[in-house]
Amino acid sequence: MRGEPSILRGRVLDTDGNPIAGAVLDVWQNAANMFYAVQQPDVQPATNLRGVYRTDAAGRFDIRGVRPTDYPVPADGPVGALLHTTGRHEWRAAHVHIKVSADGYVPLNTHVFDRTSKYMDSDTVFGVKESLFGDFAPGIVDGYLVCDFDFVLARA
């Protein structure tokens, strides 16, 4: 696995701050070469930097991957024409995708953005907001950057 090894860890909580045990996190991200596994079936295994995880009894999760990287969306065809017409670039800010769900709660589809991405202020799909900023910083785990991030689910 190329890239800077990282750990995304945290908790899944309800709106009262109580942990949600057994919550499911479906996580995926691009590789250090700026491509998702599905974009390179002959280069990356289909499950590269993708996984489904469950929280423990205290609502905690710990996911190992790599630091997300900025990447361009395909700029040919109609998307490229739209970007060109509106004067926008094709770059996405570095992020990890997460779908969080648990029985009895409203599912959450979101991102965690690397605060240091140079496209935080100009993400081409306007997906960035400050509440989704994460800090990938040297942690207590040797050789890994660590990003602590909690998710909150509302009752259904």
Q: What is the CATH number of the domain that holds 94?
A: 2.60.130.10
User: What pLDDT, in 10s, does the model give residues 33-50?
Assistant: 989 999 999 999 999 999
pTM above 0.85, yes or no: yes
User: For residue 142, what are its two tokens?
Assistant: 């040797």
DSSP label at residue 39: G
Question: Hey, is 132 helix, strand or coil?
Answer: helix
Number of domains the chain is built from: 1
Confidence at residue 1, expressed as pLDDT on a 0 to 100 scale = 55
Note whether 94 and 44 are within 8 A (CB). Answer: no
Look up the domain containing 142 and give its range. 5-153
What tens digit of pLDDT does each residue of 115-156 get?
999 999 999 988 899 999 999 998 877 889 999 999 999 999
Q: What is the predicted pLDDT for the residue at 140?
A: 78
Handedness of CA 117, 135, 46, 79 (dihedral sign): negative
Mean pLDDT of 90-98: 96
Interval 64-78: pLDDT, tens: 999 999 999 888 899
